[in-house]
């Protein structure tokens, strides 16, 4: 795996980039910044593809300044409003609880495991160093000098040890997926219940259709029986009429002795 596999990374608070590192030049920095503006403020992972590169983001719920944010207080509601509608100014957003995006730009051929593993490592380290402290009030690019070298170090480590970081990422992913599997199982049970209900409905429909079919069959048999009786009576009538005609012919009419 070449040294250019991971080419750019940064840590932000909201949409304010606090620290970044790259050894290359290009428009990937501006594209990464544009993607940052559109990221949902939720704890999740996102990947965008562009011109043979992937822009990978890990969004953390973040940290907050030590403000007296009491539940149900006006200040609490204001902070919640600013987090939800984060398109407000970065100055306002930096006052309250914020989402923390971690980003790394990688060549597309590297896949997704190594970039995500890098982001997980950076998130863990950055949270230990700055969570709820200096990073909550730092201005744009102010952590470049002290944290830029750490970004470089972690990028190089992940590039040099892709198998190791991928294995660790898989283990963490399996642990974090336990809740997801539980929810998935619940959804499957619910879905199975819905399918059972549908099956019951279909069974009831089949029973109703079978009953209708039996009723129609009974009516058809009665109809056919009546038709057969009519035919038999007609034939019997014809036979009686022929017998009468023959008898009358032999006897010379009704004066036969």
For residues 151 and 200, membership in a common domain is answered with no
For residues 64 and 110, membership in a common domain is answered with yes
- Which residues are CB-contacts of 64 (< 8 A; sequence separation ≥ 6)? 96, 97, 98, 132, 136
Last residue of a domain, one of 126, 160, 194: 160
Q: Per the domain annotation, does 257 fall within a domain?
A: no
Each of the 257 residues of the chain gets a pLDDT tens digit; together they read 445 789 999 999 989 999 999 999 989 999 999 999 888 877 788 899 988 899 999 998 765 444 443 344 454 444 445 444 444 444 444 444 568 999 999 999 888 889 999 999 999 999 998 876 788 888 999 999 999 999 999 999 888 888 887 777 666 655 555 545 555 554 555 555 545 455 556 566 666 776 776 777 778 888 888 888 889 899 999 999 888 888 887 776 656 55
CA 176 to each of CA 94, 184, 185: distance values in angstroms, whole numbers, following the listed order? 29, 13, 15
For residues 133 and 242, membership in a common domain is answered with no
For residues 152 and 236, membership in a common domain is answered with no
For residues 143 and 187, membership in a common domain is answered with no
Q: Per the domain annotation, does 172 fall within a domain?
A: no
Q: Which residues pair with 20 in a beta bridge?
A: 10
For residues 80 and 112, membership in a common domain is answered with yes
Sign of CA dihedral 39, 102, 2, 26: positive
For residues 145 and 241, membership in a common domain is answered with no
Q: Per the domain annotation, does 77 fall within a domain?
A: yes
Q: How many domains does the chain have?
A: 2
Residues in the chain: 257
Assign 55 to helix, strand or coil.
strand
For residues 52 and 94, membership in a common domain is answered with yes
Assign 152 to helix, strand or coil.
helix
- Which residues are CB-contacts of 130 (< 8 A; sequence separation ≥ 6)? 63, 136, 138, 143
What are residue 12's phi and psi, to 5 degrees? -130, 165
162, 41, 58, 172: which is closest to 110 by C-alpha?
A: 162
Q: Per the domain annotation, does 50 fall within a domain?
A: yes
For residues 78 and 200, membership in a common domain is answered with no
* Cβ-contact 59, 43 below 8 angstroms: yes
Instruction: Please give the residue range of the domain that contains residue 141.
Output: 6-160
Distance CA 100, CA 13 (A): 5
Distance CA 148, CA 151 (A): 5
For residues 65 and 142, membership in a common domain is answered with yes
For residues 127 and 202, membership in a common domain is answered with no
For residues 211 and 88, membership in a common domain is answered with no
Q: Per the domain annotation, does 1 fall within a domain?
A: no
Q: Where are the beta strands (DSSP E) in 34-99?
A: 44-50, 53-60
Q: Which residues pair with 11 in a beta bridge?
A: 19, 102
Distance CA 99, CA 11 (A): 11
How far from chain centre, in Å, is Cα 22? 34
110, 3, 102: which is closest to 60 by C-alpha?
A: 102
CATH classification of the domain holding 154: 3.30.450.50
125, 118, 123: which is closest to 157 by C-alpha?
A: 118
């Amino acid at each position: 795996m070449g040294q250019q596999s991971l080419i750019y990374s940064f840590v932000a608070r909201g949409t304010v980039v606090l620290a970044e590192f790259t050894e290359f030049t290009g428009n990937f920095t501006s594209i990464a910044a544009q993607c940052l503006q559109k990221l949902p403020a939720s704890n999740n992972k996102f990947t965008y593809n562009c011109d043979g590169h992937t822009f990978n983001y890990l969004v953390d719920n973040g940290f907050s300044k030590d403000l007296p944010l009491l539940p149900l207080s006006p200040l609490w509601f204001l902070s919640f409003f600013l987090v939800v509608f984060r398109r407000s100014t970065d100055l306002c957003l930096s006052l309250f609880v914020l989402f923390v995006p971690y980003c790394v730009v990688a060549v597309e051929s590297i896949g997704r495991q190594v970039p995500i593993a890098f982001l997980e490592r950076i998130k863990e380290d950055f949270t230990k160093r700055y969570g709820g402290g200096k990073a909550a009030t730092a201005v744009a690019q102010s952590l470049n000098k002290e944290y830029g070298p750490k970004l470089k170090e972690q990028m190089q480590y992940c590039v040099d040890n892709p198998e190791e970081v991928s294995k660790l990422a898989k283990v963490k992913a399996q642990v974090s997926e336990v809740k997801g599997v539980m929810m998935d199982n619940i959804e499957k049970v619910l879905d199975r219940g819905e399918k059972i209900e549908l099956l019951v409905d279909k069974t009831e429909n089949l029973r109703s259709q079978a009953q209708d079919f039996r009723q129609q069959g009974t009516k058809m048999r009665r109809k056919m029986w009546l038709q057969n009786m009519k035919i038999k009576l007609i034939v019997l009538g014809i036979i009686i009429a022929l017998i009468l005609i023959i008898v009358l012919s032999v006897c010379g009419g009704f004066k036969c002795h």
